[in-house]
Chain A
Amino acid sequence: MKSFIEYIVSIFKGLWTLLIGMKVTGKYFFTPWKNVTQQYPENREKLVMFERFRGEVIMLHNENNEHSCNGCGICEINCPNGSIEIISKSILTADGKKKRIIDQHIYHLGMCTLCNLCVKACPSGALAMGQNFEHAVWDRSLLTKVLNQEGSTIAENVKEE
């Protein structure tokens, strides 16, 4: 008798759990405005990537075209697949001392795995991950980029090498 009651209860319990499942998916079906699909080329203007998205390595520049890279080369050492090359040059400062600063921070996007190690390793916070992900180009050489902008200088408060 007891097992018979259990049998009857199991039928209704089973039906009830099925109805709960159908309620969940039904809620998805009848609220189509909550769909997660984004139609990419159409929403290009309004598309906002999420905060931690890694599109490419960029060097941060402020409004005076100044960056914080002192050309120490730690990012180059930390890069596991050699995507970064630091080319430095020597200049004479105002008080007649020789100083080594960054000339070109070369970044090979084609080799980069976007592992974020260079950004983490940079002692002066010069590098960051950009949000741009449309990297298609017609020629492979275009994937080699110079990260410090033309005519940019090192910011005042960056500590010397």
Chain B
Amino acid sequence: MGFNFYDFTALTHNIHVGLVEGFSPFMATTLEWVIVGTAYLLFVALFGLLLVYAERKVCAAFQQRLGPMRVGYWGLLQTIADFIKLLMKELIMPRKADRFLYNLAPFIVIIASFLAIAVIPFAPGLQSLDFDIGLFYLTSVSSVGVIGILLAGWSSNNKYSLIGAMRSGAQILSYELSVSLSLLTMIVFAGSMQFSTIVEGQRDGWYLFTGHIPSLVAFIVFLIAGTAETNRGPFDLAEAESELTAGFHTEYSGIKFAFFFLAEYINLFIISAVAATVFLGGWMPLHFGHLEAFNHAMDVIPPLVWFFLKVFGVIFIIMWFKWTFPRLRVDQILTLEWKYLLPINLINILLMAFIVLTKFHF
């Protein structure tokens, strides 16, 4: 079983063949589920911890501080220590809370994140679901999380939680529109909703560059709407530490709170990964039309590294937003969406369709 760092198709295929040969078909499928599930669980947990650490460090740098420095070298073990502390905390159940929904809500939120992460192509062959409606599927399942947030606020029997959940619901439902429309612009350009086709289409240049102005506008709109969809600052009025204590997860503690916290950062990763895949070429190395030598030099860097470089670039920009801009009011958030992003998006789609029809793109 050869290990190729540039193409994982052979590796995953070999694992599949080995399992089918060694076990009955039912056992082989079950084992594959377990392996894939464990891999995603591990990735989500570790990447979540890494993102929390990165967020604290980036936030500190934006505020001319150092951030965590004491636990481990440059505070590297800080989030692990925090996580252990979270696991050992007592699970508190508010009086008169709706027990069933209260316990269910964190799982809905985290399941929505897990469903969405399944279609992200990490590298060639490293994608568990690659079907023809990939982007459509992703926008659908990523909005399931809002049900969990609404349930969490509703069942906590706490007015601040309910206000936070309602704000969050209004916000996510509105911005879903912008996310979908900006992705639709790129679907018009790419001619496909399948992730592998979209990535393959960017072999000679990222869509951000080849799509002229419409794809640039779509990228900016997607970044804004994506930030809003993940409930991050400056659109964090659902949590609004200073006014609503913590919004919908006020009453949660211990591992259930950790689920919400983790889901938030995984959603950040998903939004960044989608932006990186649709606009910046996913795992495809940076290629310019005819510069053969340059293209070959770029090919040396493995696709996995390219993917995470781009994802971290987008994550950095979104963190930059969070630690720069002040929080918007509810009416300002809805104004931004319905009066600005939506009309811009609609005109943008028209423009993109015009460009595609006249074959004006590269």
Whether B340 is near chain A, meaning CB under 8 Å from some CB there, is yes
Interface residue? B61 (CB, 8 A): yes
Total B residues in contact with A, Cβ cutoff 8 Å: 16
Evaluate contact between A36 and B65: CB separation under 8 angstroms: yes
Please give, as numbers and ranges, the residues of chain B lying within 8 Å of A11 by CB-CB distance: 340, 344
Contact with A along B318-329 (1 / 0, CB 8 A): 001101110000
The complex places the Cα of A28 from the Cα of B323 at a distance, in Å, of 11
Say how far A38's CB is from chain B's closest CB, in angstroms: 9
Please name the residue on chain B nearest to A34 by beta carbon. Answer: B64
A22 to B69, CA, bound (A): 26
Decide yes or no whether A43 CB sits under 8 A from chain B: no
The answer to whether A28 touches B325 (Cβ under 8 A) is: no
A37 to B324, Cβ gap below 8 A?
no
Q: Is the CB of B65 within 8 A of A21?
A: no
Interface residues of A in 12-40 (CB under 8 A from B): 18, 21-22, 24-26, 28-29, 32, 34-37, 39
- Chain A: CB-nearest residue to B343: A7
Q: Please, how many angstroms separate the alpha-carbon atoms of A82 and B65 in the complex?
A: 40
In the complex, residue of chain A having the shortest beta-carbon distance to the beta carbon of B316: A29
Contact partners of A35 in chain B: CB under 8 A = 61, 64-66
One of B61, B66, B69, B321 near A28 (C-beta < 8 A): B61
Query: Which residue on chain B has the smallest CB distance to residue A36?
Result: B64
A-B CB contacts (within 8 Å), total count? 37
Contacts of B69 in A (CB 8 A): 39
For residue B339, which residue of chain A has the nearest CB?
Answer: A7
| Chain A contact residue count (CB 8 A cutoff) | 15
- Contact A25:B324 (CB < 8 A) given known A11-B340, A32-B61: yes
Return chain B residues, CB-CB under 8 Å to A18: 324-325
* Contacting pair B320 A22 (CB below 8 A): yes
Measured between beta carbons, the chain A residues less than 8 angstroms from B58 are 29
B63 touches A28 (CB 8 A): yes
CB neighbours (8 Å) of A39 from chain B are 66, 69
| Inter-chain contact A29/B62, CB cutoff 8 Å | yes
Provide a sorted-by-A list of 11 A–B residue pairs whose CB atoms are within 8 angstroms.
Answer: A11-B340, A18-B324, A22-B320, A22-B324, A25-B324, A34-B64, A35-B64, A36-B64, A37-B60, A37-B65, A37-B66
* A-B pairs with lowest CB-CB distance, top 8: A37-B66, A25-B324, A25-B62, A29-B61, A37-B65, A21-B324, A36-B64, A35-B64
Besides A18-B325, A22-B324, 10 other A-B contacts (C-beta < 8 A): A21-B325, A25-B62, A25-B320, A28-B64, A29-B58, A29-B62, A32-B61, A35-B66, A36-B65, A37-B65
